[in-house]
Copies of this chain bind each other. A is one copy, B any other.
Amino acid sequence: MTPSSAVADTDAAELERVLTAAYGSTARLAASPPTERAGWLTAVADTLDAASNRLLPLAAQESHLTEARLASELARTTFQLRLFGDTLREGSFLQATIDHPDPAWPMGPRPDLRRTLRPIGPVAVYAASNFPFAFSVAGGDTAAAIAAGAPVVVKGSPGHPGLSQLTAELVGRSLSNAGAPDGAFALVLGFEIGRTLVQDPRIAAASFTGSLAGGRALYDLAVSRDHPIPFYGELGSVNPAFVTPAAASARAEEVGAGFLASVSLGVGQFCTKPGFLFVPESSTIPTIVKRLSADYPPAPMLNDHISQGYVERLVRLTGHPAVRRITGDIADGSQQALTMLQTSTAELLADPHELMVECFGPTAIIVTYANEDELLAAAEAFDGQLTASIQGEQEDTVGRSLVELLTPVVGRLLWNGWPTGVSVTYAMQHGGPYPATTAAGFTSVGTTSIERFLRPVSYQGVPNSLLPPEVRDGNPWQIPQRVDGVLRLPS
The answer on a CB contact under 8 Å between B423 and A108 is yes
Q: Which of B79, B410, B487 contacts A489 (CB 8 A)?
A: B487
* A340-354 interface code vs B (CB 8 A; 1 in, 0 out): 000000000000000
The answer on a CB contact under 8 Å between B107 and A424 is yes
Rounded to whole angstroms, the CA-CA distance of A300 and B92 in the bound complex is 47
When distances are taken between beta carbons in the complex, the residues of chain B under 8 Å from A98 are 427
The answer on a CB contact under 8 Å between B455 and A399 is no
Rounded to whole angstroms, the CA-CA distance of A98 and B98 in the bound complex is 26
When distances are taken between beta carbons in the complex, the residues of chain B under 8 Å from A305 are none
The answer on a CB contact under 8 Å between A105 and B415 is no
Smallest Cβ distance from A457 to chain B, in angstroms? 6
The answer on a CB contact under 8 Å between A399 and B466 is yes
When distances are taken between beta carbons in the complex, the residues of chain B under 8 Å from A456 are 411, 429, 431, 441-443, 448
When distances are taken between beta carbons in the complex, the residues of chain B under 8 Å from A383 are 227
* A106-136 interface code vs B (CB 8 A; 1 in, 0 out): 1110110111001011000000000000000
A75 at the interface (CB under 8 A from B): yes
When distances are taken between beta carbons in the complex, the residues of chain B under 8 Å from A370 are none
Q: Which of B27, B95, B105 contacts A408 (CB 8 A)?
A: B27
Rounded to whole angstroms, the CA-CA distance of A441 and B119 in the bound complex is 10
Given that A408-B30, A460-B413 are known contacts, is A425 also in contact with B99, CB under 8 Å in the complex? Answer: yes
Most buried by B among A404, A439, A461: A461
A183 at the interface (CB under 8 A from B): no
Smallest Cβ distance from A491 to chain B, in angstroms? 13
A191 at the interface (CB under 8 A from B): no
A242 at the interface (CB under 8 A from B): no
Residues 388-442 (chain A) with a chain B CB within 8 angstroms: 394, 399-400, 403-404, 407-408, 410-417, 421, 423-429, 431, 433-435, 438-442
When distances are taken between beta carbons in the complex, the residues of chain B under 8 Å from A416 are 461
Q: Which residue of B lies closest to A394 (CB)?
A: B463
Residues 135-166 (chain A) with a chain B CB within 8 angstroms: none
Complex A-B, nearest 7 residue pairs according to Cβ-Cβ distance, in ascending order: A429-B458, A115-B427, A113-B427, A223-B223, A97-B427, A79-B107, A415-B462
In the complex, 20 of the A-B residue pairs with CB atoms within 8 angstroms, ordered by the A residue number, are A27-B408, A75-B108, A80-B107, A86-B485, A90-B485, A90-B487, A107-B424, A223-B223, A230-B441, A403-B462, A412-B460, A413-B458, A413-B462, A414-B459, A415-B460, A415-B461, A431-B456, A440-B455, A441-B454, A443-B456
